[in-house]
Amino acid sequence: MIGNSDLKDRNDSRKILLALAVLFIVLITAMIFISDDFSAILSKSTAEGLGLKDSAVVSFFVSLVLVTVLAMVSGDGLIGEVQFVVVGFLLFFIVFWFMIAWVF
C-alpha cells in the first residue's frame, strides 16, 4: 500500500515536472521569436559595436539562462529561492548590460 507521504511526494514531483516542462516550452518559444533579432544584434556587434538597447537584450537572455541554471542546481530549486533569484537576476542583468555595452 502506498502511504499518504508517498502520494504527496508523487504529486509534488508531478507538479515540479509540469512546471519545468512549461518553463522549457516558454524558453523554446522565446528563442524562436527572438532568434532573428538576436542574430541581427550579434552580426551588428562585429561591425560597429553594441549600444545600450542591444546590449540590454543580450544581457537579459544571458542573465535569464545563468540564473535559471544556478537555481536548478541549488539545493532548494526554483521555488525555495525565489527572493534570492530575483535579486540575483537584477544584479546579473545590470552588470552584464553595462559590461557588454562597454566591451563590445
> Who wins on pLDDT, 26 or 44?
26
| Cell reading at 102 | 562597454
Count of other CB atoms within 10 angstroms of residue 81:
16
Q: Look at residue 99 and tell me whether its pLDDT is greater than 70.
A: yes
Domain boundaries in the chain?
A: 4-103
pLDDT, average across residues 19-35: 84
71/45 Cα distance (integer angstroms): 30
3/14 Cα distance (integer angstroms): 17
pLDDT, average across residues 24-53: 75
- pLDDT tens track for 39-76: 776 666 556 667 788 888 888 888 888 888 887 777 66
To the nearest whole number, what is the mean pLDDT of the chain? Answer: 80
